[in-house]
Structure 1
Amino acid sequence: MFNARLTVSAAALAMVAAPAAAQELTISVYGIAQDAFDEVLYTPFEEICDCELVVETGNNSERLAKLEANAANPVIDVIAFADSAALEAAEKDLLAPLDMAQLSNVDGIYDFAQDPLGNGMAVGYTFYGTSIVYRSEEVSIETWTDLFSEELAGRVALPNITTTQGPLTLYMIQRAIDAEKAEAGDFSDAIAMVAENRDRIVTFYERSSQIPQLLQQEEILASVVGRFAWPGISSIPLEVEWALPEGGQSGGLNVLAVVAGTEQTELAHQFIDYWLSEEIQTRIAEARVDSPVNTAVEVDEETAEALTYGPEMAESIHFLPPAVQMENRESWLDAWNTEIAR
């Protein structure tokens, strides 16, 4: 769907006879924080490029479906995706390889974000950690398998397998049991452990927004969440900490890609490079919208606490490779439904 800024621009253009139509770049992004993105990214870029940004929003599956439906005549130029969704799009020939020579800021971002899909198909623009949040005055967390300790029996919430955090949770539990199997996408031990403790888990949540309330009502003492949920959780009037368990934490990476068949290849690369710049990554971080991949970004301590920020945090994250996700997600779902959701 188109956002309000596009509707206004289109109406204005219809009413004013311009000597020449401005270049348009259509971008497809997540719907969150669009007012902030408009202020710190979209409008400044329009002023630099003397062009008009057309912004469409939606979730991964909706926007992937639109790419497929319009593959013969693309209506999107640049798309922001989770890495696994981007890999799926790339394997369907819906994305074009990036010309890294046009991306001057790539060398300044974390190594894991520079070519996360391989073959130069995308570049990471933000990432987040996934770990355990817990009531630190009540329990302690040392490892991922502590989620199933006696002191947490009947006091823990886990994400459902159908959520983004679900596979990441299983990945880290499996890593704690058998890292080699985890890297191969075999989560059988983790699923068995969750199944064994199923009756001692309060809920398999669908939305991370449920967790602050469950903690505050003292229904749970711990859960697994993405770092983007941390500001809401850390603001409740209880002692809650973000765990850095043995073996680290997991996390997710969002990427930018150029759509195959676009006629705005040069402008698309200019926009992606601008998004990766220290200036824009800093503005977005200071707005507390996305965590920066540009390693030169510096923010104050309070802002850093709200983000997945800094090399120490980045180095602690084990990303679940998108190829492993695509290859195994159906088997994970089948096993979950058979052993846990029955």
Structure 2
Amino acid sequence: MKTTAALLAGASALVLAGQAQAQDKTLTISVYSFAQDEFKTIVYDPFEEICGCELVVETGNSVERMSKIEANAAAPVIDMAVLSAHDALALARKDLIAPVPVDQLSNYDKLYDVAKDPLGDNLAVGYTFYATSIVYRSDKVTVESWADLLGPELAGNVALPDVTTNQGPPALHMIGKAMGDQDPSLTAPIEAVAGHKDEIVTFYVRSSQLAQLMQQEEIWAAPVGRFAWASFKDNGLPMAWATPKEGQTGGLNVMVLTKGSANQELALQFMDFWLSTPIQQALAEALVDSPANAEVQVSDEVAENLTYGAETVKSLDLIPPAVMLDNRESWLEQWNAKVAQ
């Protein structure tokens, strides 16, 4: 396996051309709080060294970060942000982000198609995604369909995500698909879950809850994001990751440019650096992000912990960002009336 140092060295040429222009400039980015030590080592520090600029990193939850972008729309203080695809679309609908001139990204054509223009009009570029499927006790049950979550073999031994979580609507979407109902209202799967709610151990809000319940053998199966798989596969119990016949779902995270940013050129250099094969590979090998760059190649051991490879990416049945935005209030109302009561 290549070392991180070697991978980072291979990315240096991407932004050297812009080094002179970047002197004495500051780029302010807004990112998730997750894995910031690793991002500093793999992405932030090497970019600063190459571009000769200062990188200011602001973290927080999505609501806080989106609110700051909106509050400073007249005089942006954030140049570039990373968000979920549907949160990025919410900003786009408020005219707070600018189209990405993708012809200036040398690594754009290396991305999987799902990451190239997820919002339309080049308003965002995907940089990582994750699969959501079902983890289960392979010595207790076999899971071949999303419908198995509500089946008799798992009654009293299954957990489902709450509808307010990132995993909730995608899991309901796939349960609906297994029922032959793909209406974006999610009415059918919500009603199905409501009909089985007494057989469900909990509706979880954090994947850490699941790991504990699984370890205590209180549950045998639950839908989770691939990023949480490591906490299950190494728990000492016979665990498996399902490949349901309906496919897997998941989520996509994207990069956006804030409208009116004075540092668009530098932001584009940073985006390109982050999307490059060496950086995406280093992040993958550190088990930080699954790569959106299709050129990345990792060992089987690393791939086991990621959403990786063309076949896996092709299998993802993602809820379109517009569907997520347009329906989530209705989903919550239905959930509260039928499941949470």
TM-score bracket, shorter-length normalisation: over 0.9
> Cα 1:98–1:206, aligned 2, differ >3 Å: closer, same or farther?
same
Secondary structure at the residue paired with 2:268? helix
Q: In the alignment, what sits opposite 1:155? A: 157
Equivalence for 2:97: 95
In structure 2, what is the Cα distance between the partners aligned to 1:152 and 1:99? 49
Instruction: Name the CA distance, whole Å, in 1 between partners of 2:199 and 2:207.
Output: 19
The answer on whether the counterparts of 2:181 and 2:188 sit within 8 Å (CA) in structure 1 is: no
Amino acid at match of 1:97: P
Relative to structure 1, the CA distance from residue 281 to residue 80 in structure 2 (aligned partners, 3 Å threshold; closer, same or farther) is same
Q: Which residue of 1 aligns with 2:322?
A: 323
Letter of the structure 1 residue corresponding to residue 226 of structure 2: R
User: 1:62 and 2:64 equivalent?
Assistant: yes
**CA shift digits 1:191-250 (9 cap, x unpaired):** 011000000000000100111111111100000100010011111000110001011010
Say whether the 8 Å CA contact 2:23–2:52 is kept in structure 1.
no
Shift of 1:180: 4.1
Deviation of 1:186 (Å): 2.2
Deviations along 1:104-145, one digit per CA (max 9) or x if unpaired, are 111101001000000000000000000110001100111101
Distance 2:123 2:257 in 1: 8
SS in structure 1 opposite 2:148? Answer: helix
Is 2:333 aligned against 1:334? yes
- In the alignment, is residue 39 of structure 1 matched against residue 41 of structure 2? yes
User: Residue 107 of structure 1 is aligned with which of 89, 106, 109?
Assistant: 109
Aligned to 2:30: 28
Return 5+ residue gaps in structure 1 as ranges: 1-19
Equivalent residues in 2 for 1:1-342, closer than 5 Å: 22-181=24-183, 185-342=184-341
Q: Secondary structure at the match of 1:158?
A: strand
**CA-to-aligned-CA distance 1:275-331 (integer Å, 9 cap, x gap):** 110011011111110000101101111111111111121111111100000000000
Give me the TM-score of the superposition, normalised by structure 2.
Answer: 0.92
Instruction: Return the alpha-carbon distance in structure 2 between the equivalents of residues 334 and 186 of structure 1.
Output: 11
- Equivalent-residue separation in structure 2 for 1:294 and 1:109 (angstroms): 4
User: What is the rounded CA distance, in whole Å, between the counterparts of 1:100 and 1:218 in structure 2?
Assistant: 49
For residues 178 and 268 of structure 1, the distance between their equivalents in structure 2, rounded to whole angstroms, comes to: 44
SS in 1 for 2:261: coil
Residue identity in the other structure for 1:25: L
Q: Residue 130 of structure 2: SS of its match in structure 1?
A: strand
- In structure 2, distance between residues paired with 1:210 and 1:180: 29
Amino acid across the alignment from 1:335: Q
Q: Distance in 2 between matches of 1:334 and 1:54?
A: 39
Letter in 2 for 1:90: A
**Could you give the per-residue CA deviations for residues 57-108 of structure 1, whole angstroms, max 9, x where no partner exists?**
0111111111111111110000000000000001101101111111111110
Q: Are the aligned partners of 2:185 and 2:330 in contact in 1 as well (CA < 8 Å)?
A: no
Cα distance in 2 for partners of 1:151, 1:226 equals: 22
1:126 and 1:269 map into 2 onto residues whose CA distance is 17
Count of residue pairs brought into register by the alignment: 320
- Please state how far the C-alpha of 1:175 moved relative to its aligned partner: 1.1
Distance (whole Å) between structure 2 residues aligned to residue 78 and residue 21 of structure 1: 18
Tell me how far apart the structure 2 counterparts of residues 62 and 273 of structure 1 sit (CA, whole Å): 26
- The CA deviation at 1:178 is 2.5
1:253 deviation in Å?
Answer: 0.2
For the aligned residue pairs, the C-alpha RMSD in angstroms reads 1.1
Indicate the SS of the match to 1:318: coil
Q: Determine what percentage of the aligned residue pairs are the same residue.
A: 55
Higher mean C-alpha displacement, 204-213 vs 171-180: 171-180
Q: TM-score, normalised by structure 1?
A: 0.92
Q: Unaligned stretches of 5+ in structure 2?
A: 1-21
CA contact (8 A) 2:146 2:244 kept: yes
* Partners of 2:116 and 2:126 within 8 A in 1: yes
Counterparts of 2:61 and 2:291, CA distance in 1 = 21
